[in-house]
Amino acid sequence: MSSQKLFLFDFDGVIVDGMNEYWHSSLLTFEKFLNCPNILIDQDLYKKVSNTFIEMRPWVKYGWEMLIIVHQIIKRKDPLNNQNKINFLNKYNQNCQKVLVENYWVADDLQKSLDNARKYQIDNNFDNWIKLHRPFYEVIDFIEKIKKNNIQTGIITTKGKIFAGKFLEKLNIFPELIFGYESGTKVEITSKLSREYEILGFIEDRRNTLIDIKQNSLTNNIPCYLADWGYLKSIDRLNLPYEIKLLKLKSLENLLAI
């Protein structure tokens, strides 16, 4: 194993709050890149993120799932709302697949359409696209301090690599490694990295992802931290298994002493 030390970060929900960007880009995907007769894109929809979408976001694992949720919220017939969303969430994965089948969609194609919507915004009004994100500056400061301690940084995101990279460049953050959804699952990526680096920690806001890492024989020694400021379900903070630690923004500095 290399003596080079590495600290890993998730992107959405850890380095940046992208809730406005998710909502805006999903609406734009339907408006410009998908033919959906069951919905009507009212320009007023862009003005405020749906509370239902905000509350359902913690269930999302892949970007294309956001399109499923937004579609169900803005469709003309029986839309999702705060009253009926629980039925969808109770069988979340099955219901996402059901919506795919009903609309003759393929998950990979939805992801590509979402990528096209993001590329369209970057090409046409990059500054406005950036403004849709809210950085967690405490995390950015922590990344800068890590680098000063000769520790490399890596970003693992389910966003496309190019989009995370564009945002990080705007903040003058240049991690040595960036992995998007194109690189495989987070378990696969961390497994490969663990052969080359001493991984000092991974900060992620998806509890099940950290559990998967801890249950994998190649990565179970990686210190895992659940970001308290991220997109968490109410139960995610309770009874964390496998020595996964709940991390608060104000406690980031403590990791430098580990």
CATH code assigned at 188:
3.40.50.1000
Cβ density class 25-47: b for 16+ within 10 Å, e for less: bbbbbbeebbebeebeeeeebee
Same domain, 44 and 61: yes
Q: The domain containing residue 180 runs over which residues?
A: 5-17+134-257
- Report the chain's terminal Cα–Cα distance, integer Å: 20
Running DSSP on this structure, what letter comes out for residue 149? T
With tokens 């069951």, the residue in question is 38
Q: Does residue 258 register a pLDDT over 80? A: no
Q: What is the pLDDT of residues 85-132, one digit of tens each?
A: 999 999 999 999 999 999 999 999 999 999 999 999 999 999 999 999
Question: CB burial class (10 A; 0-12, 13-18, 19+) of residue 86?
Answer: exposed
- Please, what is the average pLDDT of the chain? 95
Identity (one letter) of the amino acid at 62?
Y
Same domain, 36 and 68: yes
The token pair that represents 51 in the structure block? 């509370």
**Of 1, 49, 3, which Cα lies nearest the Cα of 151?**
3
Number of domains in the chain: 2
Q: What is the pTM of this model?
A: 0.93
Q: What is the pLDDT of residues 1-18, one digit of tens each?
A: 457 999 999 999 999 999
Same domain, 104 and 185: no
Q: What pLDDT, on the 0 to 100 scale, is given for residue 87?
A: 94
Question: Computed over its alpha carbons, how large is the radius of gyration of the chain?
Answer: 19
Q: What is the pLDDT of residues 156-189, one digit of tens each?
A: 999 999 999 999 999 889 999 999 999 999 999 9
Is there a contact between 226 and 205 (Cβ–Cβ < 8 Å)?
yes
